[in-house]
Amino acid sequence: MLFFFNPEAEGVDPVAEAVVAIAADRNQYNFEVLGIGVGSSTDKVRSFAAQKGFDFSVMDDSRGRITRKLNLRSPTTLLSIDSEGYLGDLAMTHFNTDVPNASKVIEDSVREKLRLPKNSEVPVGELNQNPR
């Protein structure tokens, strides 16, 4: 999953929080996340990534080379790429950040597009009938 973000853009915070939550499952479900900071300075991208707790790689595209090649116009974009290098089912540029618990709403929507279970759907082990 590619996460293009401008740390100064309005509404980027809940999207970043959703991406961090989804990225926590990347080893279990065999996918990677790459953050690409756009439209800002390298220092602001680095600071935002640290503040939000990104534990995935982040590239600096403050000059816009990557975003221009992909013709991206939104300051916050999520794209998926399949194992053969083609764009997948996830292509999101508009996020509803005006709702209560926006990061969870965004996370659930992205999980659905990536065919990942929602956190509440993660299977748990069987209950031990005779605990000691």
Burial zone of 35 (CB within 10 Å; 0-12 exposed, 13-18 middle, 19+ buried): buried
71-99: average pLDDT: 88
Backbone φ, ψ for residue 81 (5° rounding): -130, 130
- What's the pLDDT score for residue 132? 56
Helix (H) or strand (E) holding 92: strand 87-92
CB atoms within 10 A of CB 4: 23
| Between 21 and 126, the higher pLDDT residue | 21
Residue 4 predicted with pLDDT over 90: yes
Residue of 22 and 90 predicted with greater confidence = 22
Say if residue 43's pLDDT is above 90: yes
Tell me the C-alpha distance between 51 and 6, whole Å.
Answer: 14
Q: In sequence order, which ranges of 24-101 are alpha helices (DSSP H)?
A: 26-29, 42-52, 65-69
Q: 91-123: per-residue pLDDT in tens?
A: 888 898 999 999 999 999 999 999 899 875 445
**Confidence (pTM):** 0.86
Share of the chain above pLDDT 90, in %: 67
Pairing between β-strand 76-81 and β-strand 57-61 as defined by DSSP bridges: unpaired
Band of residue 84 on the pLDDT scale cut at 50, 70, 90: confident
What does the pLDDT read at residue 33?
97
Q: What is the pLDDT of residue 128?
A: 55
One-letter amino acid for residue 110 of the chain: V
Instruction: Please compute the mean of the pLDDT values over residues 43-59 and round it to a whole number.
Output: 96
Tell me if 94 sits within 8 A of 74, measured CB to CB.
Answer: yes
